[in-house]
Chains A and B, each alone.
Chain A
C-alpha cells in the first residue's frame, strides 16, 4: 500500500508567520510520530500520537509548536510565529502499533523542508 506522505515537500516562509505541516500515515497505523532534523541538533523526537491522543508533549521545542491528529489518521504540526531556528526538515513516521515486535517498526515519510527567512 501507500507509504507515509507529507505535505508540502518544501515550505519557505517569513519570520513571524505561522505554518502548518501535514502528515498522512500508512492506512491502519495507530501510532504516529513527528521528528525534526537539523544540522545543529541532528534528529530529534518531537511528539507521539496513539490514536488521536498525545500522552506527552514535552518534546516539542517551545510553546509555539503544537500538533494534533484527527480521526486517528492525518496529523498536522503547527508552528506559530516562526523563527529562523525553526528551519529544518520535519519528518513524520507511523507504525502499526506503538509497541509489539515487528509491528512497531516506524516507517518514515519524505519530510517537509522548512526554511524561515
Chain B
C-alpha cells in the first residue's frame, strides 16, 4: 500500500516571502500521479497543482511550483510571494495510474500541513 508523509504539521511565513512544504511518499509503482490540495476553513478541497510521475519537468502554476524527485520519492511544494489568501491546510496526495479495481482511483493523502501567513 502507498503511504504519504507530511512531516511539518504547521508552517508559518511572512506575507510576500517564499515557503516550501515537504512531502514524501512510498510506493512500488513506477507510474502514478501526485497532487497538492489546499483546504481553507470552508472545508472545500481545492487542487493546487498536479504532477505526472513520468514527466521529468516540475509542474508550475503561477506562484506555486513543485520539486519532484522521483528517486528520492519526494514532492515538495514551493509557494512564492505568499499571500494572506494562501493560509489553509495543504495536503499532499498520491494516486495510482492503474485501473486495477476499486481503490486504485482513490487518493491517498498525507496528514496535512497548516500554513499560516503572517501579515
**Interface, chain A (partner B; CB < 8 A):** 31, 33, 35, 42-43, 45-48, 54-59, 89, 91, 93, 98-99, 102, 104-111, 113
Contact = CB atoms under 8 A, between A and B. Distances in A.
B45 A45 contact: no
Nearest to B42: A110
A109 B6 CA distance: 23
B17 interface: no
Nearest to B110: A42
By secondary structure, the B interface counts as: loop
Interface of B: 33, 37, 42-47, 50, 91, 97-99, 101-103, 105-112
A33 B44 contact: no
A45 B97 contact: no
B44 A111 contact: yes
Given A99-B99, A110-B42, A45 B106 contact: yes
Given A42-B112, A43-B91, A98-B99, A48 B45 contact: no
A110 B46 CA distance: 10
Contacts of B111: 42
B102 A89 contact: no
B58 to A, nearest CB: 17
Q: Which among A48, A54, A106, A113 has the greatest number of chain B C-beta atoms within 10 A?
A: A106
Contacts of A42: 109-112
Q: Which among B33, B91, B106 has the greatest number of chain A C-beta atoms within 10 A?
A: B106
A89 B109 CA distance: 15
